[in-house]
Structure 1
Amino acid sequence: MTVERIKLEKEKETLLITFYSKVLETQKKNPILVDEEAVKLMQRIEYDYSLLKVPKKTQITVCIRAKLMDDYVSEFLLKHPQGTVINMGCGLDTRFFRVDNGAVKWFDLDFPEVMELKSKFFPETDRYRHISSSVTDWTWLEQIQIEGKVMVVAEGLLMYVQENEVKILFEKLQHKLPGSQFVFDVFSSMTVNKINRHPSIKKTGANLYWGIDDAKEIERWGDNFAFIEERYFAESKDVSKLSFGYRMGFKVAGLFPVANKAHRIVLYQL
């Protein structure tokens, strides 16, 4: 078995935070998320994960977020079994393997150096394709030919993008994929300022730029941007799997709108 030693820069290295969190969660007796492909992958990557300094709360949040996003994709595929999913800023995420229904057409998209690494572990197939590009290098949209229903997913991504580029992304997606669904996680503006001081983020040298307090604000960016709903971490059924202290923490947080909106999942129709 070939072992890869990896070195990534700034925001690209944050993919290891989410990847490692899912591995740790899968190894629990009653996990929020089961990601066997991530566990296998860890055995093939040489990296000192202790350098990431991932707090337990971050690990929990990452896995609740991933499970909520998995649920959105699974719900989409129940309605549209032969639909297409575009997973932007995918990193080492293995969502395709967690939700694959045997018919979905899938695109994983990330920086060329990230996709070069990922291709060593997860080769392309007829239904699973790679796109090597920055999300904001809009030429990637010209590489895809899609028919039918589409869901675009951006997990742990848009907070690293400037607001003006997020607006352009909405416009480009709507032009290329009208009627598609767009699901992503978002911070409040206050959380963006706080997270920039987070030890795991500081270690990577990455910067967060964009947060939004009112999800309906995006509807004012364009005539056909429709906010559908937002889901809060405290409402996740998987909170019941946590220790008493964390369950109480989520329960109390769920009582306060500012806490709910600090980090949540939002869904739009384009």
Structure 2
Amino acid sequence: MLGIRRFLVSLCLIWVAAGAWADDRVLRLSAPEALTETGLLKHILPRFSLKTQVRVELVSDRPDAILGTEGRAVFEGVGQVWHLQVLNPDHPASDRFSGWLTSQVGKNTVTGFAPDGTALFSLPSARQVVAVQVEADGDAVLGLQVSRDKCSRCHVVEDGKRGFGIGSTPSFGVLRSLPDWEGRFAGFYVLNPHPAFTIIPDVTPPFPDSRPSPIVPVTLNLDELEAILAYVTGMPAADLGGDLVHQ
């Protein structure tokens, strides 16, 4: 009798383990009807599953992740910017989906969806991503200090300053000359290569365990981001000697 009980307990443990393993390979995703009706999810989810062996279930309750209006902006189309909100960041399937959707392969898959020959979705513009998060009314003096402390490892942040920054990286003055400079600075953390090493609490998602920051992360809060915007707003644009051609 004792042997049977041990067998049943062992069998239950095997079932529990098998269930946990199966859940690791299943993502419960919620998305509004307005998005599902476009056909985008039928286009991207099988490709994600083929690449990762993670099966996606579209659900209306208890999801692991949500495509909607909150979280990290991942693409835009049909009249709005779509965000990915991961509700269960410790779930391996959630981590795989977030990583794939924000990878170059995932982005290309989304922007390549063109059922009638015209792409319905594009990558989110920096200005739209941050419009509800920051305003350029910060402390310009603080912005200069934050720029020196946290941006000068790659950029020249002050006109006339030499010996700082990376030669192939544009200076703040050059960036200020671009017609979309405000969106670039306000949403720099979603523009490559910044997402790989930038942390803004309550805005950027945590780095996946499988893809830690390749360098010491740059961490700043929204007040510091506003301060940088205020500083750059008041600085002169670099004179490049001719009309700029934005590519």
Q: TM-score, normalised by structure 2?
A: 0.33
**Whose Rg is larger?**
2
Work out which structure has the larger RCO, using CA pairs closer than 8 Å and 6 or more positions apart in sequence.
1
When you count helix as a share of all residues, which structure comes out higher? 1
Q: TM-score, normalised by structure 1?
A: 0.31
When you count strand as a share of all residues, which structure comes out higher? 1
